[in-house]
Each structure stands twice: as structure tokens, then as C-alpha cells.
Amino acid sequence: MSETHTAKIVVMGVSGCGKTTVGERLGQELGLAFIDGDSLHPAENVAKMTAGTPLNDSDRAPWLAAVGRELAGSPGGLVIACSALKRHYRDAIRAQAPEVFFVHLAGSREVLAARMEGRTGHFMPAGLLDSQLATLEKLGADELGVVLDISAPPKILVGAAVVRLEDQRAGQRRSGARR
């Protein structure tokens, strides 16, 4: 893990997939700070979601800009949880932090709904899960990142994310050496 300490990582996916749990543990594993992207939402966004109203793209724009700024302003690396559901949302983050690595936590609607219904103290109601799933665009083949199945325990997910991040960084070193 010699170079992963400077990684800029977004743990992404719909609500209930485990972004905070995996993000916190991934940060600990790599010795990086962790930020829950929910804390960067403007108050108006939180109010909308609490009321059960899905956010639109213009609602998300200042939030995505804040996520990108946090990553760009962290030269030592950072792990941040952010849904990053659409490709152009991820593009907005990449515009400020081009080297960002996405860890997409994916799972079935049934597992996600059960997790959301079982948690307390979160502003995102389970009723918004379907709108998030409808919005979700999976990582493209040209996007740096990995898709992980949330049926695995968090420890396994963190380990898999670290391995893929290291593989990606090793590939970059090899391609850079060939130039």
C-alpha cells in the first residue's frame, strides 16, 4: 500500500448500500481521512430529501462541486462517500479531481430496501430508493474504479477495493514507464 496513501476515492452507490461504513473502514485501512458527502449537501437539499422529494440535477450541482473541491484540496488523499449516481455527476467530480477512483457498491433492490428500512437517524427515506435506482448509471469501462457486490461483508469489500486500487496504480506506473 505504499502509494495508496495519496489516493482520492469516492465510495458511491444508492442510499443504503453501505457507503459510510465501507468509506470509513477504507479510510482507516489506507490511513486517509473520510468525509461523508451527505454533510456537504446544502440545507435545501437535505430538506427536500427529508420530505421525500428526489433531488434534480440542478439541486445536486453545488453538492457535486463541493465533493470535487474536497478531493482536489486534499493532496494527501481522501475517501469520500457520495452517491455519484450518473456519469455526468462523476464527470463533475473528475473535473476537479481527475485521478479520482470510484468504488461502486452495488446490490439488489431487496437488500437495499431492507437496509434502508432498518436504519434510524438518516434523512433519506426508503421511499426514494426507486428513484435512485432509476437514476443510477453504472461505471463505464473508461472510468477508474471497481464495482463491488454488497452481499459481501464490509471487511471483504474494503480488501477488494484496496486490491483494485493497487492494481490500477501499478498499471499506471507500468504504462508511465513505457513512455
Q: Could you identify the residue written with the cell 431487496?
A: 110
Contacts of 152 (CB under 8 A, 6+ apart): 160
Which pLDDT tens digit goes with each residue over 35-81? 999 899 989 988 887 887 878 899 989 999 999 999 999 999 999 99
**What is the pTM assigned to this prediction?**
0.86
Which pLDDT tens digit goes with each residue over 69-82? 999 999 999 999 99
Grid coordinates in use for 140?
463505464
Question: Sheet of 34-36: strands edge to edge?
Answer: 34-36, 78-81, 8-12, 101-106, 145-149
Q: What share of the chain is helix, strand, coil (3-state, %, to 5)?
A: 55, 15, 30
